Structure 1
């Protein structure tokens, strides 16, 4: 699991399919983004909805969307979900409106903490992930979920 700060690496050049949609910065928006990501993943790959990779896509998308709402939203501003079907992974990108609020480095938290473990989950389920601000108004957090689990 590697964290990168470069967002354009292996982006749309290698993608066989891509999709970008905007969602409201609400819990409902995050839920719809997660559902859409899994639906699109299963359509593009032919893998079942309950497969390990599809469940990883659901978890990673939910966490990135939740973080965009909790830490990256401004009143009245949406977040953007981009899915890129790469040769060996699905790249999930979530773009929000707070480029000055980059995620803190991922470190294991104490067992008493009630929050702050989300990016640890992203790191566990994604081959690579990272973040970056492409302009003065947005930042993108991305993760690449492998199409196949180890050993398959």
Structure 2
């Protein structure tokens, strides 16, 4: 696993171009129940993913099971979540992660700005606290050249 990231836009320029290339990713795994159930969204994600990379769009639970079972062998995996709730569900399904990088979470009614690209709702703050309480390191980093910051410290600010 080369990166685990929350980015509500899923696959886009930053993920497809900058992150995947700098990490020599071989497979992007999108773990999101809605995307996995939506043929149109799946085909959009396929178009957005670099053609040199494999792509799996899976329900959260299936992603956790496949990774735990070693289904992808020695492939360099980039695990992508749409929101913190999916990360928590992945952890609860015994998905193996140590760190999650928070990328983009845009403004929604009632959200507060944690960084320029991350706005969180009160219920998401609670979810992040739960994730951190399980020993997961939560960082924020927009692109690989940016310094990685301690997201929880910023969140509790």
Fold similarity call, TM over 0.5: no
Greater relative contact order (Cα < 8 A, sep 6+): 1
More helix by share: 2
TM-score (ref. length: structure 1): 0.29
Give the TM-score normalised by the residue count of structure 2. Answer: 0.29
